[in-house]
Amino acid sequence: MTFKTLLTIKAVVCLGFGVLLVLVPSGLFDILGASLDEVGRIPAREYGAAMLGTLVLTWLGRTLTDLKVQQIILLDLLVYDAVGFVVTLLPTISGTLNALGWGIVAVYLFFTVGSGYLLITTRAARSSG
């Protein structure tokens, strides 16, 4: 997978989930078998805002070719998605989220592995070039 492909896919995912979390966070969590009260909708919407910010970073950054800049973006995404993987895996295992939670866990794992792989390969390319 290429840097551009990974960031394009990430941008699309952030668009979909970011908009849902900002506009209808309770609806999204209802689908996942969890509920949000008025207080819970606040951080859910804030996370949606963060996803929309990541959308901007990934969409505009996808065509950048400077390896140092790519590494910075990939490290950011690696941390973001690795933490997202863990904090989504735990409530899915415990049953707080229904079986659809596994889909979100898989998405986080995909991006964690993808950004980690590309981070390693861009470092290797930078050190050899």
- pTM for this model (two decimals): 0.93
pLDDT band at 99 (very low <50, low <70, confident <90, very high): very high
Question: Tens of pLDDT along 13-51?
Answer: 999 999 999 999 999 999 999 999 999 999 999 999 999
How many domains are there within the chain? 1
Token pair listed for 63: 């065509």
Containing domain of residue 95, as a range? 3-128
Question: Tens of pLDDT along 39-90?
Answer: 999 999 999 999 999 999 999 999 999 999 999 999 999 999 999 999 999 9
Query: Can you give the three-state secondary structure of 48-94, one letter per residue?
Result: HHHHHHHHHHHHHHCCCCCHHHHHHHHHHHHHHHHHHHHHHHHHHHH
Contact 125, 16 (CB under 8 A): no
Q: How many CB atoms lie within 10 A of CB 58?
A: 22
CA separation for the pair 50, 45 (Å, rounded): 9
The closest alpha carbon to 82, from 109, 44, 104, 118, belongs to 109
